[in-house]
Amino acid sequence: MSEQLTTSLESTSTAIGASNRQQMALERVSKTKPRGFWSSVVHRFFENKVSVAALCMTILILAFVLGAGLVSKYITGFTPSENHLADKLTPPFTNGYILGSDGNGRDVLTRLAYGGRASLMFAALSTVTILLIGGTLGAISGYFAGMYDTVIMRTVDVLLSLPTLTMLILISALYHPGIFMLSGFVALISWSGISRLVRAEVLRLKNQEFIEAARLTGGSNFRIIFRHLMPNVLPTIVVFASLVIPGLILLEATLSYLGLGVRVPTPSWGNMLQDSKQFFRSNWTLVFIPGFMIYLAVLSIYLVGSGLRDAIDPRLGK
How many Cα atoms are found within 13 Å in the side-chain-facing hemisphere of 9? 6
114 touches 267 (CB < 8 A)? yes
Q: Which homologous superfamily is 39-317 in? A: MetI-like (1.10.3720.10)
pLDDT tens per residue, the chain (318 residues)?
444 444 543 454 554 455 555 555 545 544 455 666 668 878 888 888 999 999 999 999 999 999 998 999 889 888 888 888 888 888 888 888 899 888 888 999 999 999 999 889 999 999 999 999 999 999 999 888 889 889 999 999 998 888 888 888 888 888 878 888 889 889 998 898 899 999 998 988 888 888 888 888 887 888 888 888 888 888 888 888 888 999 999 998 888 888 888 887 788 898 888 888 888 888 888 889 999 999 999 999 999 988 888 887 755 445
Residues 6+ apart with CB under 8 A from 232: 201, 205
- pTM assigned to the model: 0.82
Cα separation of 296 and 102, whole Å?
21
Domains in the chain: boundaries: 2-32, 39-317
Q: What angle (nearest 5°) sits at the alpha carbon of residue 162, between those of residues 159 and 163?
A: 135
Q: How is residue 76 annotated by DSSP?
A: I
